[in-house]
Amino acid sequence: MTTTTYTVTGMTCEHCVNAVTGELGVLGGVSAVNVDLVPGGSSLVTVISETLLPDAVVSAALDEAGGYQVSGR
């Protein structure tokens, strides 16, 4: 198992948390998603998966969830 934490911008509320959790949670190999919400700031999104997810896949899922952006890892 791999645990990766991403710094994500654009999240402001629980709706954002649910959208991000839902989009990342359905990706192949993902077993858990945890969000430490910082409204209007940089939130931490931790993904536990079988293998490291490609950055493009994570970025696409965040974009689909609501246009959120990875600003670091």
Structural domain spans, the chain: 2-72
pLDDT at 73: 81
pLDDT at 16: 97
One pLDDT digit (tens) per residue for the chain, 73 residues: 999 999 999 999 999 999 999 999 999 999 999 999 999 899 999 999 999 999 999 999 999 999 999 998 8
Q: Rounded to an integer, what distance in angstroms lies between the CA atom of residue 47 and that of residue 54?
A: 12
pLDDT at 68: 96
Residue 66 gets the label, from left (phi > 0), alpha (psi -120 to 50) or beta, of left
CA distances (Å), 4 to each of 15, 23, 25, in order? 22, 16, 13
pLDDT at 48: 98
CATH topology of domain 2-72: Alpha-Beta Plaits (3.30.70)
pLDDT at 40: 85
What is the β-pairing status of strands 42-49 and 69-72?
A: unpaired
